[in-house]
Structure 1
Amino acid sequence: MNKVTVVGSLNVDTTMKIKRMPLPGETISTLGKSSAAGGKGANQAVSAARSGAQTFFVGEVGKDSGGEMMLNDLRENGIDVSGIRENAQVGTGSAAILLDEHGQNSILVYGGANQQLSVDDVNAAKNQIMEADFVVAQFETPQAATLRAFELAKENGVTTILNPAPAQKIDPAVLKLTDLIIPNETESQALTGIIITDETSMLMSAAKFAQMGVRNLIITVGAKGAFYCTQDGYNFIPAFKVNAVDTTAAGDTFIGALASQLKPDMSNIEKALVYAQRASSLAVQKMGALPSIPTKQQVIAASQN
């Protein structure tokens, strides 16, 4: 069983189903509305936990009903929430998701307590970081917290995984402490300037990331699949063909599932990638973020059909 420590965001998601995305200045009616626990950090942690990883979370929520909801949902998934601080001054993070009839989404995020996550919060979780197989982070929390978590991880031989989303300028020190970076094709282009079109452009991107200090790369390419490049080789793993209903947590499900199965030396990366692709393909067939994330038993069952 892998031990995974997630340093990241916790959001209450409100999803509004619409026929199509509104034009600038246009008002349209929604077809439905629902709320659920989410946030990239929470999604990735729940995905890892449901796939069997022993999961610990470092984050912040507001001392409010949204924060209580987030803590309860993580606990119900067997995640250790002792590393989550309740902030009495700032509200719990939230996201407004517009979801069209084709399963595509646009998301507005309010950072809230997520943006208060500090180096002190990370230092308080030093033991859990030291004992982990993987430390996973994204960019819905301050990079200073991510940097400190990765420093502690590398001092103790722990493998680090960075999901550079949402795309932004990255502190070079964070990249130098990243063992595996997992952007989608848009985020990869934003960071390298290379448009992802084919295998050649993916290999060029891998070389660019290596120049930045990251020697292992996975680029997720939506419904097409995922490309990986490590020090031992590269390949493209096709995605499973499904009818997508809601793609909100697809990438996060992929990352959490991958962290639950991957060996720290990445020697089983293709097998772990296939598992993660299967988990993601199940997630997009259901509504919501956390509610859509499958268990290990569901992933295995789907693999046998």
Structure 2
Amino acid sequence: MDRADIVVLGTFVADLAFKAERLPVVGETLLGQGFAMGPGGKGSNQVIAAARAGARSAMITRVGQDSFGDMARQTWSRDGVDTSHVLIDEAAPTGAAFIFVSSRTGDNAIIIESGAAANLSPADVRAAEGLISGARVFVTQFEQPIETAIEGLRLARGHGVTTILNPAPALPVDDAIYVNCDFVTPNETEAATLTGIDTATDEGALQAAASLVRRGARNALITLGAKGALLHGEAGTHFVPAFKVTKVVDTTGAGDAFNGGFAVAIAEGRNPVDAVRFGAAVAALSVQKPGTAPSMPTRADIDAFIRANG
């Protein structure tokens, strides 16, 4: 691939998902109701979501020289992701994630170890500047070192590339990071952590979004689960409802599906509100299947879903 529409800087981890009625307490052992292993990591999930939604997509990351790293490369190859800036780290293993999935609600709880991707450096990003400069959208998160994410955002903005920061997991950061963000896309829990504002109400979510904009972001886009999403900033203020889903199977990766879909729509030149709706459709489809990367829908499925649901 000589050029990518969307470049994602982030992690790959092997998802180890356990299904049970609840999490065990310390010292307790529970019998599970299902287990699955598959590709994951926020960056990888987002690049796969973008690729399946129709964008030429590229990944910047590090993986280990091990079976999980082999899984990563096979996963990206199947979806046509550019891996020219995926580095093999001989000193660290590929990351992994423990995922608890509730058999009653489909909700999840996750522990992640970034592994080799924790060694991603600003120098690694600078080495990919040619790839980044030719993109339409650059996406990153907080699973790799913060200084590496900052360098990616800085380089992308310097080349006029639209930047999306998905600040997950939410960590204390200097406000300077937001200056290079066209869109900051936390969920409601992450927005509360970043701003110290309770986002349980629409008013609180708007106050949190306004706080992120005051700190320098051009737009804050807070996902609100089944309530939809709030977009606030240069694009105006808009509450965008979620699509109704009759049966939620697994919410793991729904945020990554949203971000990948949103990035694709922005890269295609859609206005931000339409892009939010497109991202919401990708997320709605993803929660109807188990897993993270395996649940990401194709462009044909997305377009059909949007037509069927107005």
Same fold (TM over 0.5): yes
Given candidates 137, 154, 157, the residue that maps to 1:154 is 157
- Cα-Cα RMSD: 1.6
Distance 2:296 2:167 in 1: 21
Q: 1:87 — aligned with what?
A: 89
Given candidates 282, 285, 299, the residue that maps to 2:302 is 299
Q: How does 1:53-92 map to 2 (within 5 A)?
A: 53-92=55-94
Matched, 1:279 2:282: yes
Please say if residues 219 and 235 of structure 2, whose CA atoms lie closer than 8 Å, have aligned partners that are also in contact. Answer: no
**Corresponding pairs, count:** 304
Structure 1: which 5+ residue stretches go unaligned? none
- 2:280 is matched by which residue type in structure 1? Q
What is the Cα deviation at residue 301 of structure 1?
A: 1.2
* TM-score (ref. length: structure 1): 0.96
User: Alpha-carbon deviations, 1:110-137, whole Å to 9, x = none?
Assistant: 1210100011211111101101111100
What is the Cα deviation at residue 286 of structure 1?
A: 0.5
Structure 2: which 5+ residue stretches go unaligned? none
Matched, 1:105 2:108: yes
Q: 2:24 — aligned with what?
A: 22
Distance 2:95 2:259 in 1: 21
- 1:158 is matched by which residue type in structure 2? V
Q: How does 1:251-290 map to 2 (within 5 A)?
A: 251-263=255-267, 268-290=271-293
Q: 1:7 — aligned with what?
A: 9
User: Alpha-carbon deviations, 1:148-174, whole Å to 9, x = none?
Assistant: 111111111111100010010113332
Please say if residues 206 and 215 of structure 1, whose CA atoms lie closer than 8 Å, have aligned partners that are also in contact. Answer: no
Distance 1:215 1:257 in 2: 19
What is the Cα deviation at residue 24 of structure 1?
A: 3.5
Please say if residues 8 and 138 of structure 2, whose CA atoms lie closer than 8 Å, have aligned partners that are also in contact. Answer: yes
User: Alpha-carbon deviations, 1:176-205, whole Å to 9, x = none?
Assistant: 211110000111011111111333223322
Please say if residues 282 and 296 of structure 2, whose CA atoms lie closer than 8 Å, have aligned partners that are also in contact. Answer: yes
What is the Cα deviation at residue 267 of structure 1?
A: 6.2
Distance 2:128 2:258 in 1: 25
What is the Cα deviation at residue 2 of structure 1?
A: 7.6
Matched, 1:135 2:99: no
Aligned identity (percent) is 39
